[in-house]
Amino acid sequence: MSFIRRKKLANFVHMLKLPKYLLILFFTTVSVSAKADLRPNCLSIKLTCENSEVANGQQILFWLEFTNKDLGTRPTLLPGNRKSGKKIIYFSFFSVKNDFYTEVFRESAEITIDTSIRGGTDFRYLEAGETFRIPVFFNDSKNFDSHIEAHHRLPELTAGEYQVLAWYQPWNDDLAQYAFNPIDPFGHSSEENYDTTKLDLSFDGTQSNYLRLSIVNYFSVSSIFVNTEFCPLDCKFCAAIEKGNWTKVSAIIDGQTYYKGPTNVTDLDSAWRMPHRNVTWLGPNPQAILASLPTFTGRTMIFSTPSGYQYYYLSWQLGEIYKTRSRMSQIFYWMGFNRTPIKTSEVDYCKLVNFSPY
């Protein structure tokens, strides 16, 4: 280095050393003015599995728990019975060596389900702190082509330990814009269209926790159901499910939900809604129904039978209109009687009207 260059460098260093208070002031100002626009992820997704060991080809039941950790009620998007497009939830499997994760399999996000029956995503509101759980089935070949819950297949993997991760990508659905505020990779959102009643979610989506799963060379036994007050060893409800006696299953549910006229809710038997060894999944009631009578409500159920999982849809009629009495009331009205003592409807009425596979 030449003498002139060394002298210039020395002068520059000397200049930096003299006004230390100016340098301190400069860096303090920069650190205060620089904002790290980091947004908390208020949608928690927890992945669990009933078995820690499974064999290649064995059916695997995962559970995904969605929790709203925000301060108010917020909308979210769930797979529902989506039939086309791309998956909202898909999985990756990782091998781990020396704390280094290598992705060995990521399932396709494309949906190839039979579209002869229409379906759609579940737009659901979660209250602050509320958790909602959904099942995900792997290697259920019987229902792979017909149900989004079972539209997951794992290829044969080498025996060993893996870490499983669930990806949540609701932006694959057009309804996502009504449930989330889109956040870019730098944590920025559109201030013009920002909605405080929605959750913030990155365009890249989010993911669950890592779950340890061992692939072994033998079929593992599922966890044994512990008998309860509502599901004893001789449970008639589960016995009917095992035998495929769906008429009896329907009759039990109807008998425990049917009422006409004022009744105390505690008088109704809710045993069928309790955990049962042969009921894998009891879907929720809809969050809104029509207010006019009669109206209808419904929910889905997944039964575990010796021949595999069975999917059923149940619907109830709420309220009843008496056709003959309504016609008589209308005739009296035409005759000039504005009010008649004839009761034309019954609000306190509930009847199971549909129990069918879907």
DSSP state string for 100-117? EEEEEEE---B-----SS
pLDDT of residue 63: 98
pLDDT of residue 227: 86
Least confident among 25-29, 79-83, 187-191, 313-317:
25-29
Question: Beta 53-55 vs 211-216: how paired, if at all?
Answer: parallel
How far is Cα 99 from Cα 16, in angstroms, rounded to an integer? 44
pLDDT of residue 170: 96
pLDDT of residue 210: 97
How far is Cα 37 from Cα 138, in angstroms, rounded to an integer? 38
How far is Cα 200 from Cα 190, in angstroms, rounded to an integer? 11
Residues 6+ apart with CB under 8 A from 205: 167, 168, 169, 170, 171
Query: What is the percent of the chain with per-residue pLDDT over 90, rounded to a whole number?
Result: 64
pLDDT category, 40, cuts 50, 70, 90?
Answer: confident
Q: Is cis: bond before 79, omega within 30 of 0?
A: no
How far is Cα 278 from Cα 113, in angstroms, rounded to an integer? 26
Residue 30, pLDDT > 90, answer no
Residues 6+ apart with CB under 8 A from 72: 128, 197
- In 3D space, the residue among 35, 37, 138 whose CA is nearest the CA of residue 93 turns out to be 138
Q: Is the CB of residue 45 less than 8 Å from the CB of residue 77?
A: no
Question: Beta 180-183 vs 199-202: how paired, if at all?
Answer: parallel
pLDDT category, 89, cuts 50, 70, 90?
Answer: very high
Return the DSSP state at 274. Answer: S
pLDDT category, 114, cuts 50, 70, 90?
Answer: confident
Count of beta carbons in the 10 Å neighbourhood of residue 216: 15
Residue 285, pLDDT > 60, answer yes
Residue type, 234: D
- Give 146-196 pLDDT, tens digit per residue: 999 999 999 999 999 999 999 999 999 999 999 999 998 877 777 778 899
Return the DSSP state at 282. Answer: E
Mean residue pLDDT of the chain comes to 86
Residue 292, pLDDT > 90, answer no
Q: What would the DSSP string read from start to end of 303-333?
A: EEETTEEEEEEEEEEEEEE-HHHHHHHHHHH
pLDDT of residue 13: 47
Residue 314, pLDDT > 60, answer yes
pLDDT of residue 104: 97
How far is Cα 123 from Cα 77, in angstroms, rounded to an integer? 5
Residue 8, pLDDT > 60, answer no
- Give 136-149 pLDDT, tens digit per residue: 999 999 999 999 99
pLDDT of residue 92: 98
Return the DSSP state at 262. Answer: S
- Give 63-81 pLDDT, tens digit per residue: 999 999 999 999 999 999 9
- Give 186-242 pLDDT, tens digit per residue: 777 777 788 999 999 999 999 999 999 999 988 766 667 788 889 999 999 999 999
pLDDT of residue 166: 98
How far is Cα 350 from Cα 317, in angstroms, rounded to an integer? 6
Residue 246, pLDDT > 80, answer yes
pLDDT of residue 140: 96
Maximal CA-CA distance, the chain: 118
Q: Is the CB of residue 195 less than 8 Å from the CB of residue 177?
A: no
Helix, strand or coil for residue 35? coil
Residue 52, pLDDT > 70, answer yes
Residue with tokens 């306190």: 348
Residue type, 99: D
The number of CA neighbours under 13 Å toward the Cβ of 112 is 7
pLDDT category, 328, cuts 50, 70, 90?
Answer: confident
pLDDT of residue 32: 46
Query: What is the model's pTM?
Result: 0.82
